[in-house]
Amino acid sequence: MPCLRSAVGKVDRSIMAKKSSFQIKAEFLVVRTVVGILGILPRQLSIWIGQRIVNFVFLFLKDLRRTAFINTGIAFPEKSENERRRLIRGCFENLGRVLGELCHFPSVTPEDVSALVEFNFEGLGEERAYYDSEVAKGRGTILAGPHMGNWEIGVFAYSASRRPISYLARRMDNPLIEDYVTGIRTRFGNRSINKRNSFGETIQLLRDGGILGVMPDINVQEKDGIFVPFFGIPACTTAGVATLARRTNALIITMCCIWDKEKRKYVVHHGSLIETAYTNDRHGDVREATEALTADMEKFVRAFPDQWLWIHKRWKTRPAGEPNPYAKQN
């Protein structure tokens, strides 16, 4: 399933040769069948089945369940084991909701999306007017959000109700599934940019006043990131977002798309407006913006902890001398 493939981790096309033509076609057939069946069912039934599928799949993914339990302990050491397990169950339920909703993307209209998703700009406060005026002047925007809630429909709703977004994504290891899923995601004008070797393309996009969607809440190698606090623990975080913003004079806005049980709809919450400084200390400017960005990611997770992707090894890369918290003990 596309959203599970995204959650567990996408593999670059460079290793595609390991898959036979038969395997590629068989995987594609499975995806088309699941999407086709869930897509013709009533939406709530599709979501219910999607949640059952995800829960069943994760019964066999012991390492990911272990990672989630470690992560919840790092983020919320004060919570009991039962409380942490409830958060993890919420994470799986949320992934099932993403799957069920995604299967309806091929047939929904912009009006359907607008009725299901609302935009909340309260987090921007008085900076909303400033942001609108800067966009009118041609400044680009980087929309940065964590892997939580329904990130798929959040980006989809932007193109249906506001402005199309270009988003960074690694290519899947199955070209048929990649083309199919990309076609669904870009129905209303969004554009996928290959995350690999994308720096020049994203610079031009932002200088032209476009919107770039990124998800910077994942672990990166030390050569690609910097250590900033996340739940009070140094987490190696991409410096690319702040570097892009500084180089193109783009604005950074944090956001997440959360399922609101009371409203029975999704709410796109916007957080802080972040601008990179322009001092003689370029690395310091990038670090300051990355810290602010990561702090907002933490605020979102603390506010909606059962909708974050706890199965990712967020604290895997460690400063010199610190142990890997995911290493198995002998």
Residue 294 to residues 77, 225, 269, 301, Cα–Cα distance (Å) = 20, 12, 16, 11
Check whether 311 has a pLDDT greater than 90: yes
Render pLDDT for 75-131 as a digit per residue (tens, 0 to 9): 999 999 999 999 999 999 999 999 999 999 999 999 999 999 999 999 999 999 999
Question: So what's the pLDDT on residue 329?
Answer: 72
* Interatomic CA distance for residues 188 and 170, integer angstroms: 20
Closest CA to 176 of 322, 294, 25, 63: 25
| Average pLDDT in the chain | 92
Question: So what's the pLDDT on residue 10?
Answer: 38
Q: What is the pTM of this model?
A: 0.90
For residues 8 and 123, the model is more confident at 123
Check whether 314 has a pLDDT greater than 90: yes
Q: Order of strands, edge to edge, in the sheet holding 117-120? A: 117-120, 265-274, 251-260, 141-144, 211-214, 166-169, 191-194
Render pLDDT for 195-223 as a digit per residue (tens, 0 to 9): 888 888 999 999 999 999 999 999 999 99
Over range 1-17, report the average pLDDT: 42
Render pLDDT for 250-289 as a digit per residue (tens, 0 to 9): 999 999 999 999 999 999 999 999 999 999 999 999 999 9
* Interatomic CA distance for residues 123 and 299, integer angstroms: 11
Residue 228 CB-half CA count within 13 A: 26
Closest CA to 256 of 184, 181, 158: 158
Check whether 16 has a pLDDT greater than 50: no
Indicate the range of 9-13, 280-284, 301-305 predicted with least confidence: 9-13
* Interatomic CA distance for residues 292 and 233, integer angstroms: 15
Q: How far apart are the first and last CA of the chain?
A: 34
